[in-house]
């Protein structure tokens, strides 16, 4: 515009200690959650850079030269390369952002640089959401946002008190909420991703996998993390019926059970059954395409497919939290479909493993007349076997099933189901291992069932002629308490149970239920808001089958109304008129109230003189008001003291 | 008809710079407050777009929430930036006359309104680039002094003043123009001079030439450009920031006429006026009774501040350019 330095331009304004403090506070809040995720040396380096800048601000030294910073940046990038063999990807990207924040702080001189760091903070906030979007994280990041916005206000009002700037920041955020809500609900959502994602983009976890090797792991972690939550409409099924079906394992090589190939089949709802449950599942991301359903599913979620062995699979791996609706019937007739190839597969066993178990099974076969009798013998044998349930079983050798059944006699569901299916197959009864979750915690607050990774379970299905695939839970048969108990499973002595899951702390449990209920609401209403939910919302307000055009129109209408409201609200109490004119009109109003109307064409001087004559008690005041008004209205300047006097006189004028 | 509408519209007058100065208090109606994003505002917008794309790509719900909250903050900041100027009352006080070459001190009063705080308001005098940043606290009238450099004698109209703000976030820049009806009288630049020479045969000469030389110290007064450095009260200056000049009381009975005719005919108009201004100051300093004669203008023998001001004003406005 001109060559004159602009005192409001950010590049003209030097950063003060106060600005630096605000930025560092914001950075510490947004970087803290990353500190544990980044390599230790990066965290240490970034903290050192922050400390260096703070020290320079305190001691008043000059900032390091550009070359020194470039050298640090190059060395750090080389370190990252050595660590990750790439500079892209999620974690390396975050590490780079952290480094830049420290380096930029060290070359920050003006408010322009400072604003760049504030923007960098926004990116550091969103990278936190890659890992967790929990309520505490959201609250911490909101606090950081307030700090950043208040600091930015401080850049633009250096003379103002910090508290006033903080208040302005809070007002800005509060005023942003309605528009943000409208955008969140109505901004046309696109199902991502828009392009290929880095290899490490997701970090979902699952307690289940495509394979199961009983005895390979000598210890199973009791993970407290949530696998999914199920919200039932009406009644929820009792604990012992809550079998959430997941992958089915068919192929055994003596050591490991594997899924093998699964065949997509047309979905056929199970026959019969009266215990019908309708529910909605909010599934945490787990990187696989499995969807979990209460056995037996009577409907499929939208877009999902069904395999011949009764699994429900999503069209793509579940990489973000998803929701789906289902109906299940817990007492339906068993699935009787089975082709011969499938039954052959359900009998296949590796040669040369576990001779004792094989012999036992063949003995049952010889002594029984039917598959059903073999099954009954097996269950009876398991009950009497005295095998203990433990989450810390001893490691097993080559003949893992023999060792488990006859020597160590201790294990958890994987051992039980593996051994049981082996025995069935060895006795000539088709059988397979089903994995999934069993049970789940019913929250009395909102009646949502939370299923955790620690509820992962494996059971068996055997095929009986005339009946079909029957569910048998060998773990429950051997250790009945394992399934019936509402208490923590596997609470063998010496196993560390997460604090909030301990059965002995009643109040903690209650607290946890409240928290879980809140977290579920958060998941459903905030975190899994998706195109589907958006359409549901639109049809709820009477626009069925809304597409992006409807949404955009609705969005802009609401945003426009909000902006108008905001403008009106922010201008409240501010008159567009001249205060002198306003005071004069107040004066005329007061005179009119006592019967003195200004005649058309009557000048202010004449009018005030007439008023003074007819209201002798207030004569002096009226005179002065007229005098001031004339001077202020027609004079060249308007001394504020006189404007204030006029306003005060009119305000204090009492005519009655 | 269209033409008259155009003429009447504020935009046209702003565009053509034809609007007459406004008398009294000017209220910045929201129609005369303009607002555009700053470079930082564009940067902020680009950052939001990046956040949005990231949120879509990674399907991060809280990423959407963050992006939209920041978008809302941007909108709220826009409204607040415009509000920081809108409906503010601007008035300009009387500016004390100054000598050409000094800065005219225009006092601009900013009245935010009841309970409304307006931080970080920039005032810039467009013609000269004189500028000042002020905070207007609630329920208070802030006084901002615009020091406008002067070059020529005569009336100096304040002209157009821009008010600008970027508060609260610096993402938007709101500005408005006012042209208050304010002016400052600029006296001719006084030439440092002694008393006018007593010219023979003229009753208009100095009746007492020794007026300045009196030794009686009479007091201190504010320094003026025309004062001799010898008379500056350096000790007093060291104690305070103001330049002070020692005043000596001359003969109170001194009387003199400052006459245009006494000036050399070769001198130009401005030079003559400067010389006369210097004489006025010298005579005033000496405490003399003096009168002034300009072609067509005569000021009778008088003394005192009001007389000095009248003489200087006559000089400032004589055949005003």
Q: Identify the residue with better confidence: A122 or B228.
A: A122
Q: Tokens 């949530």 map to which residue?
A: A226
Share of chain A above pLDDT 70, in %: 89
Residues of B whose CB is below 8 A from A189:
56
Active-site annotation holds for A473: yes
The pLDDT of residue A219 is: 45
Residues A41-73: pLDDT tens digits? 999 999 999 999 999 988 888 888 889 999 999
Active-site annotation holds for A457: yes
Q: What's the rounded Cα separation, in Å, for the pair A460 and A474?
A: 7
CB A563 within 8 A of CB A627: no
Flag whether pLDDT at B113 surpasses 80. Answer: no
Q: Does B81 touch chain A (CB under 8 A)?
A: no
Q: Which of B61, B134, B161 to mutate to test the interface with A (most CBs of A within 10 A)?
A: B61
Q: Of the ranges A464-468, B193-197, B313-317, which one carries the lowest mean pLDDT score?
A: B193-197
The pLDDT of residue A495 is: 39
Nearest CA in chain B to A144: B66
Chain A closest-CA separation from residue B73 CA (Å): 5
Q: What is the average pLDDT across B185-213?
A: 58
Q: What's the rounded Cα separation, in Å, for the pair B252 and B245?
A: 19
Q: Of A108, A120, A111, A559, which is closest to residue B166 (Cα–Cα)?
A: A111
Q: Tokens 């939001």 map to which residue?
A: B48
Residues A418-435: pLDDT tens digits? 999 999 999 989 999 998
Tokens of B303: 């003394």
- DSSP lists the bridge partners of residue B147 as B105
Average pLDDT, chain B: 79
Q: Of B184, B178, B185, which is closest to residue B21 (Cα–Cα)?
A: B178
Q: Which of A413, A441, A455, A520 is catalytic?
A: A413
User: pTM of the full predicted structure?
Assistant: 0.70
Q: What's the rounded Cα separation, in Å, for the pair B315 and B306?
A: 14
CB A189 within 8 A of CB A534: yes
CB B3 within 8 A of CB B142: no
In this structure, the number of other CB atoms found within 10 A of the CB of residue A574 comes to: 18
Q: Which of A19, A335, A455, A473 is catalytic?
A: A473
Flag whether pLDDT at A1 surpasses 70. Answer: no
Nearest CA in chain A to B107: A639
Q: What's the rounded Cα separation, in Å, for the pair A290 and A247?
A: 7
Flag whether pLDDT at A655 surpasses 80. Answer: no
The pLDDT of residue A145 is: 95
CB B64 within 8 A of CB B55: yes
What is the bridge-based pairing of β-strands A410-411 and A388-389?
A: parallel
Q: Does A574 touch chain B (CB under 8 A)?
A: yes
Q: What's the rounded Cα separation, in Å, for the pair A508 and B58?
A: 35
Q: What's the rounded Cα separation, in Å, for the pair B111 and B140?
A: 7
DSSP string, A312-361: EE-SS---S-EEEEEEEETTPPPP----HHHHHHTT---TTS-HHHHHHH
Residues A340-360: pLDDT tens digits? 888 888 888 888 888 999 999
The pLDDT of residue A493 is: 38
Residues A363-388: pLDDT tens digits? 999 988 888 888 888 888 988 888 88
How many degrees, rounded to 5, is the angle at CA B318 between CA B314 and CA B321? 135
The pLDDT of residue B222 is: 61
The pLDDT of residue B286 is: 81
- The per-type count for chain A, helices as H runs and strands as E runs, is 21, 18
Residues B30-67: pLDDT tens digits? 778 899 999 999 999 999 999 999 888 888 889 999 99
Report CB contact under 8 Å: A149, B165: no
In this structure, the number of other CB atoms found within 10 A of the CB of residue B191 comes to: 18
How many degrees, rounded to 5, is the angle at CA A17 between CA A14 and CA A18? 100
In this structure, the number of other CB atoms found within 10 A of the CB of residue A46 comes to: 25
Q: Tokens 């488990």 map to which residue?
A: A404
Q: Of A18, A4, A2, A26, which is closest to residue A156 (Cα–Cα)?
A: A18
Flag whether pLDDT at B252 surpasses 50. Answer: no
Contacts of residue A569, Cβ cutoff 8 Å, sequence gap at least 6 = none
Flag whether pLDDT at A562 surpasses 90. Answer: yes
Q: Does A197 touch chain B (CB under 8 A)?
A: yes
Helix (H) or strand (E) holding A160: none
Q: What is the average pLDDT across A156-171?
A: 92
Report CB contact under 8 Å: B93, A578: no
Torsion sign, CA atoms A277, A280, A285, A289: positive
CB B146 within 8 A of CB B156: no
Share of chain A above pLDDT 90, in %: 23
Q: What's the rounded Cα separation, in Å, for the pair B174 and B166?
A: 6
pLDDT band of residue A221 (cuts 50, 70, 90) is low
DSSP string, A476-516: HHH-THHHH-SS-TT--TT----GGG-TT-HHHHHHHHHHH
Q: What's the rounded Cα separation, in Å, for the pair A568 and A570?
A: 6
Burial A442-468 (b: 16+ CB within 10 A, else e): bbeeeebbbbbbbbbbbbbbbbbeeeb
What is the bridge-based pairing of β-strands B141-149 and B95-99?
A: unpaired
CB A136 within 8 A of CB B149: no
Residues A460-518: pLDDT tens digits? 999 988 888 888 888 888 776 655 443 334 433 333 444 445 555 677 777 877 887 88
Considering only the beta carbons, identify the residue of A149, A180, A194 that sits closest to B57. Answer: A194
Contacts of residue A182, Cβ cutoff 8 Å, sequence gap at least 6 = A555, A558, A559, A562
Q: Of A4, A6, A28, which is closest to residue A110 (Cα–Cα)?
A: A6
The pLDDT of residue B195 is: 65
Q: Tokens 């097996």 map to which residue?
A: A378
Locate the DSSP E strands across A182-321: 211-212, 226-233, 243-249, 251-252, 257-258, 276-283, 290-291, 293-294, 305-306, 312-313
Helix (H) or strand (E) holding A185: helix A162-186
Average pLDDT, chain A: 83
Q: Which class for A214: exposed (0-12), middle (13-18), buried (19 or more C-beta within 10 A)?
A: buried
Q: Which class for B221: exposed (0-12), middle (13-18), buried (19 or more C-beta within 10 A)?
A: middle
Q: Tokens 């960098």 map to which residue?
A: A120
Residues B77-98: pLDDT tens digits? 999 999 999 888 888 888 899 9
Whether omega before A196 lies within 30 degrees of 0, making that bond cis, reads: no
The answer to whether the complex's ipTM is over 0.85 is: no
B residues 205-224 closer than 8 Å to A (CB): none
Flag whether pLDDT at A258 surpasses 90. Answer: no
Q: Which of A3, A111, A119 to mutate to test the interface with B (most CBs of B within 10 A)?
A: A119
The pLDDT of residue B163 is: 93
Q: Does B139 touch chain A (CB under 8 A)?
A: no
CB B177 within 8 A of CB B34: no
Flag whether pLDDT at B199 surpasses 60. Answer: no
Residues of A whose CB is below 8 A from B174:
none
Q: What's the rounded Cα separation, in Å, for the pair A83 and A89?
A: 12
Nearest CA in chain B to A141: B66
How many degrees, rounded to 5, is the angle at CA B217 between CA B211 and CA B222? 90
Q: What's the rounded Cα separation, in Å, for the pair A57 and A610?
A: 69
Flag whether pLDDT at B177 surpasses 50. Answer: yes
CB A458 within 8 A of CB A472: no
């Amino acid at each position: 515009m001109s060559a004159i330095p602009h005192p409001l331009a950010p590049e003209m304004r030097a950063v003060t200690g106060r600005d630096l403090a605000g930025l560092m506070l914001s950075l510490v809040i947004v970087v803290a959650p990353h500190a544990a995720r980044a390599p230790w040396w990066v965290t240490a380096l970034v903290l050192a850079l922050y400390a260096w800048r703070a020290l320079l601000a305190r001691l008043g030294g000059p900032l390091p030269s550009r070359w020194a910073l470039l050298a640090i940046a190059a060395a750090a990038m080389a370190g990252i390369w050595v660590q990750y063999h790439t500079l892209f990807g999620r974690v390396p990207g975050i590490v780079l952002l952290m480094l830049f924040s420290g380096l930029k702080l060290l070359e920050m001189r003006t408010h322009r640089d400072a604003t760049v760091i504030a923007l960098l903070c926004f990116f550091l906030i969103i990278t936190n959401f890659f890992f967790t979007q929990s309520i505490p994280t959201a609250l911490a990041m909101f606090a950081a946002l307030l700090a950043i916005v208040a600091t930015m206000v401080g850049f633009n009002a250096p003379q103002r008190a910090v508290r006033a700037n903080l208040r302005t920041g809070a007002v800005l955020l509060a005023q942003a909420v309605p528009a943000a809500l409208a955008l969140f609900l109505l901004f046309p959502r696109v199902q991502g991703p828009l392009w290929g994602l880095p290899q490490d983009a997701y970090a979902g976890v699952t307690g289940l996998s495509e394979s199961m090797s009983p005895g390979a792991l000598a210890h199973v972690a009791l993970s407290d993390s949530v696998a999914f939550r199920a919200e039932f409409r009406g009644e929820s099924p009792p604990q012992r019926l809550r079998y959430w079906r997941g992958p089915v394992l068919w192929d055994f090589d003596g050591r490991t059970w594997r899924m093998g190939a699964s065949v997509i089949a047309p979905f056929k709802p199970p026959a019969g059954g009266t215990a019908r449950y309708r529910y909605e599942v909010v599934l945490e991301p787990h990187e696989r395409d499995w969807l979990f359903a209460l056995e037996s599913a009577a409907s499929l979620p939208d877009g999902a497919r069904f395999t011949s062995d009764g699994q429900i699979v999503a069209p793509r791996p579940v990489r973000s939290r998803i929701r789906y609706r289902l109906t299940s019937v817990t007492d339906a007739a068993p699935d009787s479909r089975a082709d011969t190839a499938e039954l052959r597969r359900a009998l296949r066993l590796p040669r040369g493993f576990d001779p004792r178990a094989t012999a036992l099974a063949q003995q049952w076969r010889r002594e029984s007349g039917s598959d059903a009798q073999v099954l009954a013998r097996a269950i009876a044998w398991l009950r009497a076997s005295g095998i203990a349930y433990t989450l810390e079983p001893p490691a097993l050798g080559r003949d893992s099933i023999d060792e488990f059944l006859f020597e160590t006699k201790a294990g958890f569901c994987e051992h039980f189901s593996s051994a049981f299916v082996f025995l069935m197959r060895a006795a000539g009864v088709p059988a397979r291992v089903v994995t999934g979750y069993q049970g789940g915690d019913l929250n009395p607050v909102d009646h949502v069932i939370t299923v955790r990774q620690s509820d992962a379970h494996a059971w068996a299905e055997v095929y009986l002629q005339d009946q079909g695939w029957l569910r048998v839970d060998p773990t429950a048969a051997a250790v009945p308490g394992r399934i019936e108990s509402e208490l923590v499973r596997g609470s063998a002595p010496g196993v560390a149970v997460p604090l909030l899951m301990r059965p002995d702390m009643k109040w903690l449990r209650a607290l946890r239920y409240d928290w879980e209920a809140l977290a579920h609401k958060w998941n459903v209403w905030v975190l899994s808001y998706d195109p589907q939910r958006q359409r549901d919302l639109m049809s709820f307000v009477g626009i069925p089958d809304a597409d992006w055009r409807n949404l955009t129109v609705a969005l802009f209408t609401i945003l426009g109304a909000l902006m108008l409201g905001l403008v009106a609200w922010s201008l409240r109490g501010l008159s567009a008129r001249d205060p002198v004119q306003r005071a004069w009109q107040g004066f005329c109003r007061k005179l009119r109230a006592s019967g003195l109307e200004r005649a058309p064409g009557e000048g202010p001087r004449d009018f005030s003189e007439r008023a003074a004559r007819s209201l002798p008690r207030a004569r002096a005041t009226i005179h002065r008001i007229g005098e001031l008004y004339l001077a202020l209205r027609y004079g060249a300047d308007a001394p504020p003291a006189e404007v204030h006097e006029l306003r005060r006189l009119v305000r204090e004028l009492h005519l009655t | 008809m269209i033409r008259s509408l155009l003429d009447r519209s504020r935009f046209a007058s702003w565009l053509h710079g034809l609007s007459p100065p406004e008398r009294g208090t000017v209220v910045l109606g929201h129609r005369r407050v303009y607002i555009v994003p700053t470079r930082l505002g564009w940067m902020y917008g680009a950052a939001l777009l990046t956040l949005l794309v990231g949120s879509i790509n990674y399907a991060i719900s809280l990423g959407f929430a963050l992006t939209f909250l920041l978008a809302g903050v941007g909108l709220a900041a826009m409204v607040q930036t415009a509000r920081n100027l809108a409906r503010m009352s601007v008035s300009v006080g009387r500016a004390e006359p100054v000598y050409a070459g000094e800065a005219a001190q225009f006092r601009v009063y900013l009245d935010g309104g009841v309970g409304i705080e307006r931080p970080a308001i920039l005032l810039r005098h467009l013609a000269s680039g004189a500028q000042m940043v002020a905070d207007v606290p609630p329920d208070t009238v802030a006084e901002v002094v615009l020091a406008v450099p002067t070059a020529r004698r005569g009336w100096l109209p304040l002209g157009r003043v821009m008010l600008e703000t970027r508060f609260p976030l610096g993402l938007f820049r709101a500005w408005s123009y006012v042209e208050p009806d304010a002016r400052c009288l600029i006296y001719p630049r006084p030439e440092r001079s002694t008393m006018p020479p007593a010219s023979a045969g003229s009753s208009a000469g100095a009746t007492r030439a020794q007026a300045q030389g009196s030794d009686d110290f009479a007091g201190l007064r504010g320094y003026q450009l025309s004062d001799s450095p010898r008379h500056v009260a350096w000790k007093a200056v060291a104690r305070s920031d103001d330049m002070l000049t020692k005043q000596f009381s001359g003969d109170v009975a001194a009387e003199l006429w400052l006459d245009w005719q006494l000036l050399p005919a070769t001198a130009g108009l401005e030079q003559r006026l400067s010389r006369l201004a210097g004489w006025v100051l010298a005579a005033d300093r000496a405490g003399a009774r003096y009168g002034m004669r300009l072609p067509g203008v005569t000021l009778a023998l008088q003394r005192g501040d009001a007389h000095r001001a009248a003489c200087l004003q006559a000089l400032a406005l004589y055949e005003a350019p």
